[in-house]
Homo-oligomer: A and B are copies of this chain.
Amino acid sequence: MLRRYLPILTWGAEYSRRTLVNDLIVAAIVTVMLIPQSLAYALLAGLPPQVGLYASMAPLVLYALFGTSRTLAVGPVAVASLMTAAAAGAVSAQGTPEYLGAAVALALLSGLMLIGMGLLRLGFLANFLSHPVISGFITASGIQIAAGQLGPVLGVKAGGHNLPELLSALGRNLGQTNVYTAAIGVASLAFLFWVRRSLKPVLRRLGLGERSADILTKVGPAMAIAATTAAVWGFGLAERGVGIVGTVPQGLPRLSLPPFDGALWTELLVPALLISIVGYVESISVALTLAAKRRQRIEPDQELIALGAANMGAAVSGGFPVTGGFARSVVNFEAGAETPAAGAFTAVGIALATLFLTPLLYFLPNATLAATIVVAVLSLVDLGALKRTWSYSRPDFAAMAATIVVTLADGVEAGLVVGVALSIFLHLYRTSRPHVAVVGQVPGTEHFRNVARHDVVTDPQVLSLRVDESLYFPNARFLEDFVNESVAGNPNVRHVILVCPAVNTIDASALESLEAINLRLKDGGIRLHLSEVKGPVMDRLKRSHFLAELTGQVHLTQFDALSSIHPELARRTLGVPRRRSPEHSPPTGPRKSNSTKREAEHD
């Protein structure tokens, strides 16, 4: 039990000296990568730079205690930072203590929600965020973040919570571009793009291994930061209007519980929920991907608790919402992290940096941080997904496109809410019109197929309808209409058979519809039968009055149903010879079974 909630007890028991050395090396690499990211994402969230560092200490230690992934690296990430900025910006102005308080409160609420969801096993809530919605949302967030960082890159003030606001502010203030800032920003951008695109081949040619080359490209931002900080310091660019990070308070954050503020917390409930779910979805996806490479196990509910603990840790140490980041987790993994201890050591690295290195960050230009963000988030933008989704599924495309458009036009919250609502709506719409086929007997077999597609035998007195979907409220009335329509058009019908092999469930609405159909058919002198009802569905039907009221019978197979209604026709059709040698050959070798083929050729 304790092991379930504290995975550290499992891996900690096997911890060896070799693992320790390994984890320490990994931690050093990830620390170098994480420092600029932490500063940059704090900037993106509209917070002082040290808040980013604070959010990269306690959360990592807590995740190491509670997380089931061996290699997930948590900390501030781009999308959650954007969402934090949107939510905190909605309740107070950037730069005020209230704004910082709101960010901390978001981490606290998010932590509480995640832990609650983990303990109550509510992880399925994340399922409501369909892939097209999350993908569209991340693409739109990436575009918006990149657009928002163009201002800092050029040294132009441009704020806004959606793309039109950002772009119009940018356009208005473009005349105020600071040449030095722009030079640093554009040069950093160019360098970072080059690192991302072309550094690895260069390093490989210099004889570095695949992994080392990969990891070295990930410390590109640190190099850009070192170079531009030196340039600002050397050429005295801060006096020429280049925005710099300035004084970053030295020392570790003080631990304190954020003050209770009912009104503020109520306002932040929805954003905190959205941040929690988006963060969880991204995090679990990274964790599963990395775990699979080593056949390790990820416990989704425990991951909720671990992420919740990490956010609580961020909240009590003056940080802001954190989650598992993709790039840093991959670096962690590829550098060879074997246990979550690597994360804890990374936290120590960040703590050391906070204690001793912050003076070095004084001349760090904001433009460089902004450039690192732009380069990082552009990898989130996947407009190709729109095309792929379009060709695969129009409803999914609609949900994705709506999410992108609304996120960009109105903001992150509206985008997510509209996307989720639309995908649920379209899902219900699709299931509200299930595929129903009129089926007839394939001559010479006991099989029944769609009359519209196959040469089959039917009895004018018997209407056999195969419903290719579970029966539940979104399609219950559809079935009533369909039967009414079918029977009204067939005056000779005396029996209706619902063929149910694809019906995985019948809910109370569908049961009511079946009862209504049964009574209506009875009034019209028609008997209703069921065939091929699955076991669990039958068990449940037995708990209702339906079977007692049913005018017809429930048959194990459709052939049984037809045989009992019109035995002569069923047998005659079965007797018709046809090419059926494979089906009736002795069972000694592999053969095509019609039984499964029938399902495979769902018509």
Contacts and interface: CB of A to CB of B under 8 A. Distances in A.
A213 B115 CA distance: 65
Given A534-B600, A557-B600, A285 B516 contact: yes
Nearest to A453: B535
Chain copies in the assembled complex? 2
B602 A534 contact: yes
B600 A501 contact: yes
Contacts of A424: 424, 428
Nearest to A577: B587
A391 B540 CA distance: 9
A240 interface: no
A17 interface: no
A600 B535 contact: yes
Q: Which of A297, A508, A559, A589 has the most CB of B within 10 A?
A: A508
Nearest to A598: B595
A521 interface: yes
A592 B558 CA distance: 10
A47 B487 CA distance: 43
A446 B596 contact: yes
A599 interface: yes
B587 A127 contact: no
A236 interface: no
Contact of A427 (B395, B472, B481): B472
A344 to B, nearest CB: 24
Nearest to A294: B524
A543 to B, nearest CB: 5
A431 to B, nearest CB: 8
Nearest to A534: B602
A295 B487 contact: yes
Interface in A520-547: 520-521, 523-524, 532-537, 540, 543-545
A558 B545 CA distance: 37
Contact of A600 (B469, B545, B556): B556
A585 to B, nearest CB: 10
B392 A508 contact: yes
A575 interface: yes
Interface in A241-269: none
Nearest to A587: B574
A524 to B, nearest CB: 5
Q: Which of A289, A476, A588 has the most CB of B within 10 A?
A: A289
Contacts of A502: 502, 504
A491 interface: yes
A505 B556 contact: no
A413 interface: no
A597 B295 contact: no
Interface in A263-319: 281, 284-285, 288-289, 291-298, 300
A579 B40 CA distance: 71
A298 B596 contact: no
A567 interface: yes
A512 interface: yes
Nearest to A397: B508
Interface stretch (A75-83, A106-114, A128-136, A222-230): A128-136
Contacts of A481: 288, 298, 300
Given A298-B484, A536-B602, 5 more contacts: A131-B513, A289-B519, A292-B487, A446-B593, A533-B600
The 8 closest A-B pairs by CB, nearest first: A595-B595, A292-B520, A534-B602, A130-B473, A396-B508, A131-B509, A557-B596, A297-B488
